[in-house]
Amino acid sequence: MLFNSWAFILLLLATFVIYYLPRMGKLQVSILIISSLLFYAYGQPALLLLLLCSASINIMMSYMTVYGSVNHRKLYVTLGVVLNLAILAYFKYGSLLAHTFMDTSKGLGHYLIMTPLPIGISFYTFEGISLLLDVYSNRHADVLTIDKSIGKHVTKTLFFISFFPHLIAGPILKAYEFYPQIKEKSIKTIDWDYVFRKLTAGYFFKMVIADNLSNFTFWMTAPYFQTLSSITLIVMLLGYSIQIFADFAGYSMIALGLAKLFGYDLLENFNFPYISTSFSEFWRRWHISLSTFLKEYLYIPLGGNRKGHVRTYFNLTITMVLGGLWHGAGWSYAVWGAFHGLALAIERLINQTFRIKIESRIGIILKGCMVFSFVTLAWLLFRLPFHDVVDYLKAIGTNVHVPNNRLILVCIIIYSMPVVLYHIHYLMPADWRLNSTVNRYKYLANAIMLFLIAVNSGPSGSFIYFQF
């Protein structure tokens, strides 16, 4: 079910009304669980069983880790993590392994490539793993408690995993951040200004920017790009960089606004990533919930930067390769992750070896352009199969004399400008951004966004990160 579908609007309105009815406080969590399961089952009802199976594993193993035999705590958490990863591997990577190592015309290979990819499986699997590891480590015992009552534990954990604003494409939640928020909510405490701003910006980025840009980045696919000019190919790649940001950041904004509507705070998932002047900064600003998950549950357990420089570079690279594979069941995603891992390792090596500090404005701008160019170039691995990536880069080099497609160029520039202005606004001095006169224009900006959502939305399509 898409956030921009009428079916979702009806479900949201019905849920909101029932949720805040008088004397419904004790049933609020149950109401949201029911709505979340309906939300997930819409379009793929059979795969609801997989979500419930995943939730059941994490409910049972987390409970047994706390209240089972002390001698078997490690066994319970290990079994839980292994089962989570096994489900993820089968449903997400079975087809990749079959295409790589098996005959897909018959037998197990054919069966694997026919296995459906459940939407959101990467997100709720990681959330389940984080719950198990946090319960086992006991690092957050002050805020993360497992109820002795199995009924309460089932309700809390199923709610944590299935809460519909983040269910399909994040942000990735951590139990120690979410569990303390589970309590009765009042309509009087809703921050309507926050909800309005997040939903307006989110729907604008998704429906006006990302969906319209998809009409023009479509021509990046083979064989269409072969006949386009070098400049057109470069601008389309820049447009796709803007599109993937608008699409995913838009989803995250909508998720935050919807969660707040029901009294829950989710983690900000994007912090103006395209202003980054280093690759490490980019990953502190892009898909923050994933980068913090990978750091907390993979990079640090591997040893982080505590075991020497060479081991640190290896840990960075392997973390990003696995993070790349998390994004999609294709070797191009692993290569994308390797690119970013190597960039992080090389950047760290240069900083440690030469300790160069660039403080001039021109130098900072050049660094920002370099990071953005690298990130944008790497997005090709998201958009195209690996062999088409090579052909696309060749076409950029050889199609210099092909006439430009002016329609594509102009439309991509127009639809990219709001995202550019969004980042430029953030770069303005704080006293300017907080100026009362400037703030008054925010209401005008919101009015314009609402108007454009109504009259200039692009063709409705699923969010890019749904496939992850």
Residues serving a catalytic function are 327
Cβ atoms within 10 Å of 144's Cβ, excluding its own:
20
How far is Cα 243 from Cα 464, in angstroms, rounded to an integer? 9
Find the radius of gyration of the CA atoms of the chain. 23
Q: How far is residue 93 from each of residues 34, 54, 117, 403, measured CA to CA in Å?
A: 30, 17, 9, 41
Can you state the angle between helices 331-354 and 361-378, rounded to 10 degrees? 160
Q: Are 315 and 325 in contact (CB under 8 A)?
A: no
Q: Which amino acid is at 14?
A: A
Structure tokens at 115: 């296995």
Distances (CA, A) of 141 to 58, 131, 265: 18, 12, 20
Give the residue from 28, 23, 3 showing the smallest Cα distance to 264: 28
| Cα 8 to Cα 30: distance, rounded to the nearest angstrom | 18
* Closest residue by Cα to residue 55 from 70, 75, 36: 36
d(CA 199, CA 248): 13
Structure tokens at 39: 């939300």
Q: Which residue has the tokens 């047994």?
A: 64
Could you tell me which of 269, 92, 295, 243 has the C-alpha nearest to residue 165? 269
Tokens 């086992």 correspond to what residue?
Answer: 136
